[in-house]
Amino acid sequence: MAAIEREDVERVARLARLALTEEEKALFQEQLGAILEHVRALQEVDTEGVEPTPYAVQLTNVLRPDRARPSMPREQALANAPQEMDGYFFVPRILEE
Partner 1 sequence: MELYALPAHALRQMLDRGEISSVELTKSLIERIEAVDGAIGSYLAIRVEEALKEAEEADRRIREQRDVGPLTGIPVSLKDNICTEGTRTTCASRMLENFVPPYDATVVARLKAQGAPILGKLNMDEFAMGSSTETSAFKLTRNPWNLERVPGGSSGGPAAAVAAGATVMALGSDTGGSIRQPAALCGVVGMKPTYGLVSRFGLVAFASSLDQIGPMTKDVKDAALLLSAIAAHDPLDSTSIPGDRADFLAELDRGVEGLVIGLPVEMLGEGVAPEVREAVNAAVGVLEGLGARVEEVSLPHVRYALAAYAVIATAEASSNLGRFDGVRYGFRSREDADVVTMFETTRAQGFGAEVKRRIMLGTYALSAGYYDAYYLKALKVRTLIRRDFEKAFERCHLLVTPTSPTVAFRFGEKADNPVAMYQSDRLTVPANLAGIPAISVPCGVSQDGLPIGLQFMAPALAEPVLFRAAAAYEAAAGWASMRPPLEVK
Residues that bind partner 1 (CB under 8 A): 4, 8-9, 11-13, 15-20, 24, 27-28, 31-32, 34-36, 38-45, 47, 50-57, 59, 62, 64, 72, 76-77, 79-83, 89, 91-94
Q: How far is the CB of 76 from partner 1 (least distance, A)?
A: 5
Report how far apart the first and last C-alpha atoms of the chain are (Å, whole number). Answer: 46
Q: Which is nearer to partner 1, 52 or 87 (CB)?
A: 52
Please state, in angstroms and as integers, the Cα–Cα distance from residue 28 to each residue in 12, 15, 55, following that order. 11, 15, 29
Q: How far is the CB of 80 from partner 1 (least distance, A)?
A: 4
Q: Which is nearer to partner 1, 87 or 92 (CB)?
A: 92
Please state, in angstroms and as integers, the Cα–Cα distance from residue 14 to each residue in 30, 79, 89, following that order. 18, 30, 24
